[in-house]
Each structure stands twice: as structure tokens, then as C-alpha cells.
Structure 1
């Protein structure tokens, strides 16, 4: 069972690479649009990918020091997206 930690490390590195590629595609969507809501969804996905990347990095290094950072960023991201959604909804009600 000595190969199992190395295999798990390899899987985590592959996860980080795939998250990076996905983040590049999301940045393209963020820049191209076509609407503000598309950009908002892309920004939410980018924040979620950043959080998942931090968790995968914490699992790879074996540290739990990033957990408060992940919680704080997720709360800020949630509050930001709900605030923008509320303003967009107000604009469509008129």
C-alpha cells in the first residue's frame, strides 16, 4: 500500500490542472459575455473553482490552515451574488 499516497497525490494534481483549464474557459466566458448575467454566472463559477482549488491544495499539502479562508471567501461570494441578483430583479420589475 505504499503506492496509494503517490496515486492520491497524482489525482489531486490532475484535479488542479483540470480546474485551471476550466478556469481559463470561464475567464473567456467572463470576458466575452454576451450579457451581464452571463458574466455574473461566470464570476460565481470562477469563485467556486478558486475555492475548490484551495481545498484540493489543502488536501495535497495536508494542512487545514486554509479552511477559514475558504469559509470566508464562500460567504463573501454568496453575499455578492445574492446582492447583484436582487438588484437585477429590481430592474426587471419596473
Structure 2
């Protein structure tokens, strides 16, 4: 039963990733594209965690944590660049 729930959730997250990709390509403004990219990062973290639960190992949780940190820093840097036009003050 748990594997069925994990597979169903992974399928729903994959659909969400496809919709985020569509928003990133189709987005009317750069802010929509940044938000879609950040949401894709969160969805990919969720997929990695689900895969780690399915495989029964903790290695994937550490990888998800690293990707989360990189996603936060990259989103913050991109937003700062859009607001000020410069990353270094």
C-alpha cells in the first residue's frame, strides 16, 4: 500500500513539474519564470525525498538538502539581480 501511495504521489509531482515547465516557457514576465523555476526546484526535492523513502536509504535526504540550499541561494541571487541589476554591492 505504501509503494502505491509513493508512486501515485510521484506521478502527481511529475505532472506538477510539467506544468511548471510550461509556465517557465510561457510565462508573461520574468517574475513568473523565476517563480516557476523555484517551484520546480521544490518539486524535484520532493521527488528525491520520495525516491529515498522508496529505496529505504538516507543518502537521498542529504542530496535533497543540498539541492534545497542551492535553490534558495540561486533564487535569492536572481531576485537581487533583477531588483538592482548588480549582485555585488
Write the distance in 2 (CA, Å) between the matches of 1:66 and 1:83: 26
Q: Give structure 1 regions of 4+ aligned residues with deviation exceeding 3 angstroms.
A: none
What is the TM-score of this pair, normalised by structure 1?
0.86
What is the TM-score of this pair, normalised by structure 2?
0.90
The answer on 1:63 being equivalent to 2:51 is no
> Which of 13, 16, 22 is matched with 1:28 structurally?
22
Gaps of 5+ in 2: none
Gaps of 5+ in 1: 1-6
For 1:46, the equivalent position in structure 2 comes to: 40
Output the aligned Cα RMSD.
1.0
Aligned pair count?
Answer: 85
The answer on 1:87 being equivalent to 2:81 is yes
Query: Which structure has the greater CA radius of gyration?
Result: 1
